[in-house]
Amino acid sequence: MIREQKGGPFGWVLDQYITRKFRSAFRGLWVRGTLPTGDAGRLVYLNHCNWWDGFMLHQLSRAADWDAYCLMEEENLQRYRFLARIGAFSIRRKDAVSSVESLRYAKELLRRPRAALYVFPEGEHRPFGVFPLKLERGVELLAKVSKVECVPIGVRYAFFEHERPDVLLEVGTPHPPGPMSLFQDGLEAVVQRVAAATSLDGFTRKVAGARGVAERWDSARGLAP
C-alpha cells in the first residue's frame, strides 16, 4: 500500500502548481449547498467524470478548510506518485488483504481533525449524466468501518456564456453510514440536480479562476458586473 505523504517542500511546490494550473483553466469553482464544517471526519463521495477531478478536489479542500485525503487505485498512484504529496493513498481492489489494510488506514486518517476522505464509488471515469450510476460497494464498506458522516457531491464541468468552463458542485445532505441504496440514491440525486442547472444562479463561487477575453474587455470598458 502507498500511504499519503502530505507536506514538505515538494508538497508546498505541488500545492502552488495545482492552484495556478486550476485557476488558469477554469473561471471558478462554484458550490450549491452547504459544505460541512467542524472537526469531525467525513466521507465525501462524488461522481468521477473528468481528468481534472483530482485538481478540483485539491481546490475544494482549500475552500472548505478540510484536511483532505483521496483513495486511489494503486496502479494509478504508482504512475502518478506525486499525488501522495497532496493526500492520495492506495488500494488494490482485487486484493482482499490490501483492501483491508487500506480500509484500516482510511479509518485512522478520518480520526484526524477536519479530515475529509474523497471516494469515487464509480471506480473509474464515466461520462457525465448517464444514469443509473454504476457504483461499487467499497464506499458502503468504508463508511461502515469508519462510522463517519457521508456527504454526496455532484460534479459537473460546464460551459455557459463564457470562454472558459466553470466547475459546479452540488452538495447533498450529509447522512450516516447505511446500505448501498442510500449511496446510490444520494449520489444520483446531486448529479441530477447539477445536471439540470442552466446557469450559475444559486451557486456561490468558492475559488476564483481566470477571466476570458470578453470579461477582460468588459472590465476595461467598465461594464463588468
What is the rounded CA–CA span in Å between residue 87 and residue 111? 15
Burial 74-103 (b: 16+ CB within 10 A, else e): beebeeeeebbbbbbbbbeeeeeeebeebb
pLDDT for residue 223: 60
Residues of the chain with pLDDT under 50: none
What is the rounded CA–CA span in Å between residue 98 and residue 112? 22
pLDDT for residue 97: 80
pLDDT for residue 162: 82
What is the CATH number assigned to the segment(s) 8-220? 3.40.1130
Give yes or no for a cis peptide into 132 (omega within 30° of 0).
yes
pLDDT for residue 128: 93
pLDDT for residue 120: 95
pLDDT for residue 163: 84
**Residue 134 φ then ψ, to 5°:** -105, 100
Q: What is the pTM of this model?
A: 0.92
